[in-house]
C-alpha cells in the first residue's frame, strides 16, 4: 500500500516537521519521505492538520455482556471516526476481563484500523478482595490493571497489586473516590447541588483517596495511574508527588475540561458523570495541570448507556456519556491550552503512561496518523452517529472540527476528503 498525503500541516512537537506543511509518502505502513513524491493514491490535506495517531486510555466497549449499549465492532468504528488509532478498553464487562481467554476474546475482534489495548481487572469479579492472576494476564497481552468504574477501596488489595505490578512494569489504574463519601451522590457538592436539591459528592472524596494511594505507592513501589481526576487538590497532590519522583501519572476526561456542575441546571442526565463535573475553579486547575505537565493525558471516558438507563429521573439515571466521535470538536473548543499541548495529551502522553513505543510524524516511523479538518461543521445525530447509544451532551448540536482520515500502519480510513 502506497499513499501520498499532500500539503499536510504537521502538529507534533517531537517531529522535526512540527508546524510545517509537507507532502508525506507512506509505503507498507511506514513513513518513507517528506517532500515532492508520487503515488497512485493521494489525499489532499490542504487546510487539514496531521498528528501522530490518537490514543485513548479509557473507553467502555461493553463487550461481552452489554452489547446492546456498544460492542467491539461499533466501538471500534466510533473510535476510528473520532480520530483514534489506539484505544485502551476497560474491564467493566459482563463477565469482567479476568482471564487469558477474556483477553483473547477482545483481541480476536480487533480491526486493522484500530489497535485495542486491554485493561484487566485488579480483583476477581471486581469484588475488591482477591487479586486476579496478574502474571498470566500480563503474558496474555494486558497492559494495565483497573477496577473499571469502581475505586480500589481495599488498601491491602491496592498494596498487593502495586507490589505485583512493580515486577511486571505495568500501571494500576485508580478511579479515586471514597465509597462512603460518594455513596448515592448525584453531582458535585456545592452551591449548585444545594440549589437543585441533589445529594452532592464532595471533592474530598477524590482527594482523600489520591493522598492515601500516594502514601501506599511511596511504601510499595510500582506504578499508579489516577484515571479521570476532577478536583483541584488532586492536581496539587499529584504535582507534588511527581516532584518527589514517585511513579505516578494521571489523566482527565475530555468532558471535565468543558463542563462544570452548573451544566446540570436543567437536570439533563447526559451531564451526569462519574466522577461528577465539578466547580469552575476545579476546571481551571485541570487546565493548569495540563499546561504544566502534571496531567499526562486526556481520555474520552466513552461510556455508552441505553435509552432505558438514561431517560429517567436524574437520581435514577446511569452516569456517563458517549464521547469518542465528538472528541475532536470538544478538544478544539478548549481555548485556555495551546493546541500542541492538547495534541500531546492524546498522542505521546497516553503511550508514555502505558510504556508504549514512542511514535512521531517522522521518516522511517511506523505510520500511525490522525488527519483532522479543524474548521468543517457537522451535527451529531442519528444519521452521523456510529455508536449504538445516543447519550451525548452534544446530541443534535452544531459542532466544529471533524476527522478526515486515520492511518494505522497499512490500514487507511478516509472519512471526508
pLDDT band at 37 (very low <50, low <70, confident <90, very high): confident
pLDDT value of residue 210: 98
Nearest to 88 by CA among 99, 101, 98, 75: 75
Tell me the mean pLDDT in the region 249-275: 96
Question: pLDDT tens across 368-412, in order?
Answer: 999 999 999 999 999 999 999 999 999 999 999 999 999 999 999
pLDDT value of residue 417: 75
- Predicted confidence (pLDDT) at residue 1 exceeds the cutoff of 80: no
Tell me the mean pLDDT in the region 128-143: 96
pLDDT value of residue 226: 98
* Catalytic, out of 63, 86, 178, 301: 301
pLDDT value of residue 274: 95
Q: Establish whether the linkage from the previous residue to 363 is cis, with ω within 30° of 0.
A: no
- Predicted confidence (pLDDT) at residue 350 exceeds the cutoff of 90: yes
- Predicted confidence (pLDDT) at residue 107 exceeds the cutoff of 80: yes
CATH number at 52-353: 3.20.20.140
How far apart, in whole angstroms, are the C-alpha atoms of residue 137 and residue 362?
34
Nearest to 82 by CA among 405, 403, 404: 403
CATH of 2-49+363-414 among 3.30.930.10, 2.30.40.10, 3.40.50.150, 3.50.50.100: 2.30.40.10
- For the chain, what is the total number of helices (H) and then of strands (E)? 12, 18
Backbone angles phi, psi at 415, to 5 degrees: -100, -40
Tell me the mean pLDDT in the region 134-144: 96
DSSP string, 15-81: STTTT-EEEEEEETTEEEEESS---SSEEE-TT-EEEEPEEEEEE---TTT-TTT--HHHHHHHHHH
pLDDT value of residue 36: 76
Tell me the mean pLDDT in the region 412-417: 89
pLDDT value of residue 179: 94
pTM for the whole structure = 0.97
- Predicted confidence (pLDDT) at residue 39 exceeds the cutoff of 80: no
- Predicted confidence (pLDDT) at residue 118 exceeds the cutoff of 80: yes
Q: Report the DSSP beta bridge partners of residue 253.
A: 299
pLDDT value of residue 416: 84
- Each residue of 60-71: b (16+ CB within 10 Å) or e? bbbbbebbebbb
Cell of 129: 478482595
pLDDT > 90: percent of the chain: 96
For residue 41, with 0-12 CB atoms within 10 Å meaning exposed, 13-18 middle and 19 or more buried, which class applies? Answer: exposed
Question: pLDDT tens across 310-321, in order?
Answer: 999 999 999 999
What residue spans define the domains of the chain?
2-49+363-414, 52-353
Q: What is the average pLDDT score of the chain?
A: 96
- Predicted confidence (pLDDT) at residue 309 exceeds the cutoff of 80: yes
Tell me the mean pLDDT in the region 64-90: 98
- Predicted confidence (pLDDT) at residue 38 exceeds the cutoff of 90: no
DSSP string, 105-146: HHHHT-BTTBEEEEEEESBGGG-SSSB--HHHHHHTT--EEE
Tell me the mean pLDDT in the region 159-179: 96
pLDDT > 70: percent of the chain: 100
Tell me the mean pLDDT in the region 248-274: 96
261 is catalytic: no
Amino acid at each position: 500500500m502506497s499513499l501520498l498525503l499532500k500539503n499536510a500541516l504537521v502538529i507534533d512537537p517531537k517531529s522535526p516537521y512540527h508546524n510545517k506543511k509537507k507532502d508525506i509518502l507512506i509505503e507498507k505502513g511506514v513513513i518513507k519521505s517528506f517532500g515532492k513524491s508520487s503515488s497512485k493514491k493521494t489525499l489532499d490535506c490542504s487546510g487539514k492538520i496531521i498528528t501522530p495517531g490518537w490514543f485513548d486510555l479509557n473507553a467502555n466497549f461493553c463487550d461481552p455482556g452489554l452489547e446492546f449499549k456498544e460492542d467491539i465492532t461499533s466501538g471500534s468504528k466510533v473510535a476510528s471516526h473520532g480520530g483514534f488509532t489506539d484505544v485502551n478498553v476497560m474491564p467493566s464487562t459482563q463477565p469482567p476481563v479476568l482471564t487469558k481467554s477474556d483477553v483473547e476474546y477482545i483481541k480476536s475482534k480487533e480491526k486493522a484500523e484500530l489497535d485495542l489495548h486491554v485493561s484487566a481487572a485488579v480483583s476477581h469479579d471486581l469484588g475488591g478482595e482477591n487479586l486476579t492472576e496478574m502474571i498470566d494476564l500480563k503474558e496474555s497481552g494486558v497492559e494495565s490493571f483497573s477496577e473499571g468504574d469502581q475505586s480500589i477501596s481495599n488498601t491491602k488489595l491496592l498494596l498487593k497489586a502495586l507490589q505485583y505490578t512493580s515486577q511486571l512494569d505495568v500501571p494500576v489504574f485508580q478511579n479515586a473516590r471514597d465509597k462512603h463519601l460518594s455513596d448515592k451522590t448525584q453531582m458535585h457538592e456545592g452551591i449548585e447541588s444545594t440549589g437543585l436539591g441533589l445529594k452532592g459528592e464532595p471533592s474530598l472524596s477524590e482527594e482523600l483517596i489520591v493522598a492515601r494511594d500516594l502514601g501506599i505507592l511511596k511504601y510499595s513501589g510500582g506504578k499508579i495511574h489516577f484515571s479521570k481526576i476532577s478536583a483541584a487538590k488532586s492536581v496539587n497532590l499529584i504535582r507534588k508527588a511527581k516532584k518527589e519522583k514517585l511513579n505516578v501519572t494521571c489523566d482527565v476526561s475530555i468532558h471535565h475540561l468543558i463542563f462544570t456542575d452548573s451544566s446540570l441546571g436543567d437536570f439533563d442526565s447526559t451531564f451526569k458523570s462519574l466522577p461528577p463535573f465539578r466547580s469552575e475553579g476545579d476546571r481551571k486547575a485541570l487546565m493548569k495541570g495540563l499546561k504544566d505537565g502534571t496531567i499526562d493525558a486526556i481520555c474520552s471516558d466513552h461510556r455508552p448507556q441505553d435509552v432505558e438507563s438514561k431517560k429517567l429521573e436524574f437520581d435514577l439515571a446511569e452516569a456517563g456519556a458517549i464521547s469518542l466521535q465528538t472528541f475532536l470538536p470538544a478538544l478544539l473548543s478548549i481555548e485556555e491550552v495551546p493546541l500542541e499541548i492538547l495534541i500531546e495529551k492524546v498522542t505521546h502522553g497516553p503511550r508514555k503512561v502505558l510504556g508504549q513505543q514512542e511514535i512521531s510524524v517522522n521518516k522511517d516511523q511506523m505510520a500511525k496518523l490522525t488527519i483532522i479538518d479543524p474548521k468543517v461543521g457537522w451535527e451529531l445525530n442519528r444519521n452521523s452517529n456510529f455508536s449504538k447509544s445516543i447519550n451525548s451532551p452534544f446530541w443534535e448540536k452544531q459542532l466544529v472540527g471533524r476527522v478526515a482520515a486515520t492511518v494505522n500502519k497499512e490500514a487507511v480510513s478516509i472519512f471526508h476528503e
